[in-house]
Amino acid sequence: MGTKFEIRRKGRLTLVGVEAVASALLVTYYISRKTELDWYGFFSIAFVIAAVIMALFMGVRVFRYIFSIAFSLLWGLLGFEIAKNFSELWFIHCLSFTIFAYFSVYFHFDYFRFTRS
């Protein structure tokens, strides 16, 4: 019997990693506005928050679904705002939202196949 290989794409955690770091930076920025943090404290807290988000994403299925849906909606809103700059038609705005959100869900869907809780 031959050797069995499992082939996975490189950079599988890229999308979720970018989203985790972005959300960690936003939360840390909010914290730094309420308190006085230096740069070392800012990036230390951001690193810890990103690590916690990634641990929750990989370990808890419900968090994985909520995180993916929330960021898919945020990517859709980004597409909506981009379309608002290029067109005044409401249909184009909604179509752009739908396309961005669909592709975000499509790219997140791969995370549900290889990680099972």
Q: In this structure, are 39 and 77 located in the same domain?
A: no
Helix (H, G, I), strand (E, B) or coil at 88: coil
The burial of 84, by beta-carbon neighbours within 10 Å (0-12 exposed, 13-18 middle, 19 or more buried), is given as middle
20-46 b/e (C-beta count within 10 Å ≥ 16 → b): bbebbbeebeeebeeeebeeeeeeebb
Q: Are both 108 and 76 inside the same structural domain?
A: yes
Flag the least confident range among 4-8, 76-80, 93-97. Answer: 4-8
Whether residue 63 has pLDDT greater than 60:
yes
In angstroms, the CA 60 to CA 115 distance is: 10
Q: What's the number of domains the chain is made of?
A: 2
Domain check: are 55 and 67 in the same one?
A: no
Per-residue confidence (pLDDT) for residue 114, from 0 to 100 = 54
pTM comes to 0.74
- Per-residue tokens: 103: 């592709």
Q: In terms of domains, do 53 and 65 share one?
A: no
68 vs 13: CA distance, rounded Å: 13
Say if residues 107 and 15 touch (Cβ distance below 8 Å). Answer: yes
Q: What is the mean pLDDT of the chain?
A: 85
Per-residue pLDDT tens over the stretch 10-62 = 555 678 888 999 999 999 999 998 888 888 999 999 999 999 998 998 888 88
Tokens at 26, concatenated: 């936003």
Asked whether residue 23 is assigned to any structural domain, the reply reads: yes
Look at residue 117 in the predicted model and tell me its pLDDT.
Answer: 44
Distances (CA, A) of 2 to 5, 6, 7, 8, 95: 9, 13, 15, 19, 48
